[in-house]
Amino acid sequence: MLANRTSIISPSVTIGISTKVNELLRQGIEVTSLSIGEPDFYTPDKVKDAGIQAIKDNKTKYDAASGLLELKRAIIDKLYRDNKVTYDLDEIVISSGAKHAITNALLAIMNPNDEIIIPKPYWTSYPEMVKLLGGTPVFVNTQEANSFKLQPEELRALVSDKTKAIFITNPSNPTGAVYTKNELEAIVQICIEKRIYILADEIYEKIIFSDDFTSIASLSDLAKDITITINGLSKSASMTGWRLGYTASNKKLAKAMSAIQGHLVSHPSTISQWAAVEAINHCEEDTQNMVETYHKRRDAVIKMFEEINELSIIRPEGAFYTFINISQLRPYFENSSSLSIDVCNKLLDEYRLAVVPGIAFGLDDYIRITYAADMETIVTGIHKIKQFIQDLQS
């Protein structure tokens, strides 16, 4: 009785893990969790106050489908201030999280069977979203030696006359890799030449450990015209539950996305939008404090993994994840149909440590841990990984 599309997508592995962790916690079993892709900080007080004030002021009615005027102005100022790109009001569409912004973008550009290029490892939802909306995900195998950053020749080899767009996640979830300006220019050049859209997922833009972030749309007017920038407040202002994201794109695309959103959800919560105005205009210092903490944890995590010879990590330059190569553990899991799932299950069942299998991001020889957790949890978690390896070897 269900629609065919429901059978072509797989349930989210990450949500599956949290469900299992919650079940264990409910049974009173202690679990160390390094699995969640969510800041471990609370939303800044002034943002919460702005939300409360919006409710008190009865700012609780329907508003424009593409988003609140005041928030669009704040986003335009931010895009100019941080990214050196100029946008007009009718080029911004505010949505219920970056996830929803990506959905709007795919609905606006993709016809049935259009191909969307997705570099591996990818953020877990991209392929399922593409399939759900009738498109075909086409995966690029990037190389660990390049920190899994897409190389121009890898892209060129996969572009076909059905290619509609490519996802570029910068900084990356799950690797934390950050592209340089030169690296982006080479990729963007091909997209301009081949006339394909760039879905530039820049949700982790603020969480970087150098001053080296380049927004794709800032590269040139042509780059800006083919790019749909995806961003939001979940990570930078620790506002995951408020569900606030947005796109910046050319007018034609923005008009289409606004019409789609208008019919599907009207617009994101008005209250969340008022809170987001405060977050974008006044929370730079709060974000910087969070980033400093992530930075310290990142350095500590790298140090701890240097002591584990059996595993190697890709040095994260942004976001709050570490992607860990577990291929050396394969001999201990000879008949395994998925190394990363078996390793994660063993870690959870026997060591009470939750981490995410690399297969959720398209690569089975890896696991992902997050350092959006306090130092004690991080140290306990990595200690459990060490113990797990020692036990395998004994």
Ligand X SMILES: Cc1ncc(COP(=O)(O)O)c(C=O)c1O
Binding residues (CB under 6 A) for ligand X: these are 37, 97-99, 123, 169, 173, 201, 203, 232, 234, 240, 245
Nearer to ligand X, 74 or 389 (CB): 74
Nearer to ligand X, 128 or 342 (CB): 128
- Token pair, residue 132, equals 């759900």
- Nearest approach, Cβ of residue 238 and ligand X (Å): 11
Nearer to ligand X, 163 or 169 (CB): 169
Nearer to ligand X, 87 or 246 (CB): 246
Contacts of residue 170, Cβ cutoff 8 Å, sequence gap at least 6: 178, 179, 184, 200, 201, 202, 204, 205, 213, 216
CA torsion, ordered 190, 118, 98, 40, to nearest 10 deg:
-120
Nearer to ligand X, 203 or 208 (CB): 203
- Nearest approach, Cβ of residue 279 and ligand X (Å): 13
**Phi and psi torsions of 309, nearest 5°:** -65, -30
DSSP 3-state of 89: helix
Residue 313 and residue 328: Cα distance in Å, rounded? 12
- Nearest approach, Cβ of residue 43 and ligand X (Å): 13
DSSP 3-state of 299: helix
- Nearest approach, Cβ of residue 202 and ligand X (Å): 9
Contacts of residue 178, Cβ cutoff 8 Å, sequence gap at least 6: 170, 171, 172, 208, 210, 212, 213, 317, 318
At 331, the amino acid letter reads P
- Nearest approach, Cβ of residue 361 and ligand X (Å): 10
DSSP category for residue 149: P
Q: Which residue is nearest to ligand X (CB)?
A: 97
**Phi and psi torsions of 318, nearest 5°:** -165, -175
- Nearest approach, Cβ of residue 143 and ligand X (Å): 20
- Nearest approach, Cβ of residue 203 and ligand X (Å): 4
Nearer to ligand X, 203 or 290 (CB): 203
Nearer to ligand X, 269 or 339 (CB): 269
Burial class (CB in 10 A: 0-12, 13-18, 19+), 242: buried
Q: Tell which residue, 271, 258, 244, 250, has the closest CA to residue 100.
A: 244
Nearer to ligand X, 85 or 98 (CB): 98
- Nearest approach, Cβ of residue 268 and ligand X (Å): 10
Q: H or E element: which one contains 71? A: helix 69-83
